[in-house]
Structure 1
Amino acid sequence: MHLFLLGNTPGLERVKEDFLALCGEKPRIAVLCAGEKWPRYAPHYLQVLTTAGAAEVQFIGEENGQLNPRKAHAILQGASGIVVGGGDTYLYQQHYVLSTLSDLIRQKVRAGVPYLGISAGAILSCLTCLIPEEDRTSPEQPHYLPGFGFMSTLVFPHFSEWDGFAELQAAAAELHMQEVWGLDEQAAAYFHDGTLHHTYGEWVWKVKPTGEAQKIMKDAPVLLD
C-alpha cells in the first residue's frame, strides 16, 4: 500500500509529483471532501494536481447538503489515486469509513492505488484513530474512532502546532503501541506497506510510549519496482 500522509495542506506541494508518479500514465484522481466549506478548497487541490500532471481530478462532497453515494462510487471506481482532504474528522469518518463507500476505498488502496491523506485524511488511514483534543468540539465526542485500517499505528497531524506530544505519547501507552507518528503542518510522510520510506519538509516525529520525541528525516526513492 502506498500512503502519503500530510500534516496539513502545504504538504501537498511537496508530495504531488511522487504521488502522481504512482497513479499511472494518465492519473485520474478522486478527491474526497466533507462539510459545507469544501468547495472553497477545491480550486487549490485542482490547480496543484493538474499542474503536476493529473489527467483528471474529480471531487466527492456534499451537494445541497447531501453526499450522492452512487456518484461517489462511480468516481472512486475509475480513480487511479485517492486524496482524502482535511476538515471535520468525525464527518469524514461518517461519509467514508462508516458508509457503503468504505469497502471500495479499502479494496482499491490495498490493491495498490495510492492514498493521500491531509490532516483528517491522514488520521483516518489508521486502524484506530486518535482524534486530537484540538479537533474535538465537545467532551461527548469520542477520543478514538475506527478508521480505514491501512496503518496499525497512530498519526497525529498539526503535531508541533497543536503541542501534541503529551497527548500522542499517552495514547501510544494506552494502546500498547511501540511507535506512533506526529506530522507538523509543513511535513509529509510516505509509508509503503506500513513502513516509513520517505519524509518531506519539517518535521516528521516518531513518538514512543516513553522518552522524548525523535525528529525523523528519511530520504529514499519513492518509486518502487
Structure 2
Amino acid sequence: MKISTHLFLFGSGPPFTPNLGEKFKRLAEGSKIAVLYIEREGSEDYLPLYTDCLSLSDSEIYYLPLRNEYSSEDLAALKESDAVIIGGGDTVLYRRFIVETSVGEVVRNLFEEGKPLAGFSAGALISPEECVISPNDNDQEVQLFEKGLGILSDVVISAHYLEWEEEVNLKAAVQKTDVAKGYGIAENSGVYLKNGSLNDIEGYIHIESHY
C-alpha cells in the first residue's frame, strides 16, 4: 500500500492555526516530535509556541538547533522522530543549514516514510524543489531562487503574502520557475497537502496558477 505524505505549511511563525493544528496533532500524538530552529536571543521562551497549542500530552519534544555541522548523536535522534516541525526566521540560513546537509536528507526520508512535516514561514519556503526567497527576506533585497528541500514539486510558496504585499513577487516566481502554481500564504494562515495535493486550507490563501 502506498504511504501517504503529510505537509503543513504556514505563512508566519507559530502557533499552528486551530484546524490544521488538530490535523497535525492527530497524526503526531503519542510520538517524538523534532523541532528544527535557529538559536537566537529569546529562543527558550519562543520555542514552546510551536507545540504548546497542540496539547500533545504523550509526545516527546526534541529541539535541534540548526548549524553548519551535526553530530552523529544529532542525526540519530532526528532519525527516531515521528514528526518534524521546521521553524521560521532567516530563510537564507534555514536553507543553508537544512537543504543540502545531512539533516535535510534525514528530513526527506522521514517525510517519504509518511511522517508529518510542518513548516513555518522559512520552513515553508524551503520545502518545495524551488525555494523562492522574497526581497523582503534577504540582505540583497532581490528575489532569490535557490534549491529547496524537494518534498513538494511543481509549486512555489510565498509567506507573509498579504503583509509583505507579495502578489507581484509570487507571479514572477511562478513564471520564472515554470511551476503549475504558487501558494501565497498570509500570516496566521496555512495549507495542508496530502500526497502533494492541496487537502485543506485555513486563513487567507492565494493560489497563483501558471496556466
Which category of TM-score, normalised to the shorter sequence, fits these structures? 0.7 to 0.9
**Number of positions where the alignment pairs a residue of Structure 1 with one of Structure 2:** 204
1:16 deviates by 2.2
Q: Is the 8 A contact 2:15 2:51 kept in 1?
A: no
Distance in 2 between residues matched to 1:175 and 1:68, nearest whole Å:
31
Map of 2:7 onto structure 1 = 3
Distance 1:54 1:127, change over 3 A: farther
TM-score normalized by structure 1? 0.83
Question: Where do residues 144-223 of structure 1 align in structure 2 (5 Å cutoff)?
Answer: 144-152=145-153, 153-200=155-202, 202-209=203-210
Q: Is the 8 A contact 2:14 2:120 kept in 1?
A: no
Distance in 2 between residues matched to 1:56 and 1:85, nearest whole Å:
17
Q: Is the 8 A contact 1:27 1:81 kept in 2?
A: yes
Distance 1:95 1:35, change over 3 A: same
Q: Is the 8 A contact 1:170 1:209 kept in 2?
A: no
Over aligned residue pairs, what C-alpha RMSD do you find?
A: 2.1
Cα-to-partner distance string for 1:93-148 (whole Å, 9 max, x where unaligned): 12111212221111110110000000000011100111011101125x77011111
Map of 1:44 onto structure 2 = 49
Question: Where do residues 59-138 of structure 1 align in structure 2 (5 Å cutoff)?
Answer: 59-61=63-65, 68-138=70-140
State the 4+ residue runs in structure 1 displaced beyond 6 angstroms: none
> For 1:18, which of 3, 23, 35 is the aligned residue?
23
Distance 1:163 1:155, change over 3 A: same
Give the % identical residues: 27
Q: Is the 8 A contact 2:17 2:189 kept in 1?
A: no
Q: Which runs of 5+ in 2 are unaligned?
A: none
Distance in 1 between residues matched to 2:15 and 2:205, nearest whole Å:
12
TM-score normalized by structure 2? 0.88
Distance 1:198 1:3, change over 3 A: same
Q: Which runs of 5+ in 1 are unaligned?
A: 211-225
Distance in 2 between residues matched to 1:170 and 1:36, nearest whole Å:
32
Cα-to-partner distance string for 1:176-210 (whole Å, 9 max, x where unaligned): 2221110000211000121100011x201101248
